[in-house]
Amino acid sequence: MVRTDRAAPPRDAPLAVDSDADLAGRLVDALPFAAFTVDARGRVRVFNAAACELFGVDRVRAMGRALIEVVPSVELERMVQAALAGDTQTRDVAFGGGGRERYYGVTAQPYEDGAMAIAADRTGLLAAEKMRSDFIGNVSHELRTPLSAMKLMLETVLVSDDDVEARALFLPQIQNEVERMIRLVEDLLELARSESGTVPLRRERFDLGDVAMSAVNTFAQRAGALGVELDLDAPEPVQVNAERGALTQVAVNLVDNALRHTPPGGSVVVAVQRDGADALLCVRDTGVGIPFADLPRVFERFYVVDRSRSRDHTGTGLGLAIAKHLVEAHGGSLIAESVYGNGATFTMRVPAA
């Protein structure tokens, strides 16, 4: 009889184990975040699945190649070379271009006779941080400017020895600046509430045309003083189940914005209609319009296309941002359309009742 069983190893024989390099490679490969290692010559040793997805790299093609061939980034190459020399570096590295840049937070450090780098996409985080910084800067500017003017005017009144002319000149201006700051603070609070998404909507069924008529009546006198024709186009009832106050505020903000950018002799039309399962409120003006490059940003906080084109500067720069959040809270959308030089149309679309 021929036995094919292999002889069992002696009890004191050492168990087979992975080498340190193999174990380290498997650990890097199993990491849930993007990571890769290179050897002392800068050639890729391990490129884990998360890194392949982040950098858009084929793992098989990456192995054994120079890092600069796999990820064509001079800045990343320099960080890895510094890590090979014993230096640990952490910073944001830009990848891509042509308006589609993304920023990856990269840390490169010495590792296993070579170097290892880990990376994470920080594009959204950096954009949010920039938005926060810009917002704080804009608020500071909007408050500091009137406060400085008020301080100067008050000092003038105080040292004028009861000068009636000085009081008559400066006190009304101070009152206007105070009212503007109050509007700004109220708009900031309203924006914070609308962005939080935690304020419950007090829905009721009503005709969206009533909201449009209310907005037109609110601005009728102002439109006449500006020499702008303001009309309502709501031929039939369009029922919605929404918060009347919120949609009224949206309509008011849109009409106010249209009047600011429509010259004398122009017109603003507030139209209401039904489109399938949706109710539409459109505000069309014959103003100067919005440049194509600015259209995606008109709903940003404090964003002003061109202050020199506005009829006045009394707005807080938050109206359209507030309107957008209020509409989206109803499950709808607010879009802007314009051909520069031929006016603009803002369309609120919400579910019809």
Tell me what pLDDT residue 11 has: 47
Tell me which residue range forms the domain holding 227: 204-351
Tell me what pLDDT residue 13 has: 43
Please give the model's pTM, rounded to 2 decimal places: 0.57
**Average pLDDT, stretch 161-169?**
81
> CATH number of the domain that 285 lies in?
3.30.565.10
On whether both 159 and 44 belong to a single domain, the answer is no
Tell me what pLDDT residue 342 has: 87
Number of domains in the chain: 3
On the question of pLDDT at 302 being above 80, the answer is: no
In a domain, 11, yes or no: no
123-158 helix and 164-196 helix, angle to the nearest 10 degrees: 160
Asked which of 196, 222, 237 is the last residue of a domain, the reply is: 196
Asked which of 121, 139, 155 is the last residue of a domain, the reply is: 121
Read off the pLDDT of residues 192-210 as tens digits, 9 standing for 90 and up. 777 666 667 789 999 999 9
In a domain, 8, yes or no: no
Give percent above pLDDT 90 in the chain.
48
On whether both 30 and 81 belong to a single domain, the answer is yes
Tell me what pLDDT residue 316 has: 60
Tell me what pLDDT residue 229 has: 96
Tell me what pLDDT residue 19 has: 56
On whether both 275 and 344 belong to a single domain, the answer is yes
Read off the pLDDT of residues 213-244 as tens digits, 9 standing for 90 and up. 999 999 999 999 999 999 999 999 999 999 99
Tell me what pLDDT residue 219 has: 93
Read off the pLDDT of residues 68-116 as tens digits, 9 standing for 90 and up. 999 999 999 999 999 999 999 999 999 887 667 899 999 999 998 899 9
Higher local confidence (pLDDT), 1 or 267: 267
- What's CA 346's distance to the chain center, in Å? 19
Average pLDDT value over all residues in the chain: 84
On whether both 297 and 235 belong to a single domain, the answer is yes
On whether both 117 and 131 belong to a single domain, the answer is no
Tell me what pLDDT residue 115 has: 94
On whether both 219 and 346 belong to a single domain, the answer is yes
On the question of pLDDT at 3 being above 50, the answer is: no
On whether both 209 and 326 belong to a single domain, the answer is yes
On whether both 52 and 25 belong to a single domain, the answer is yes
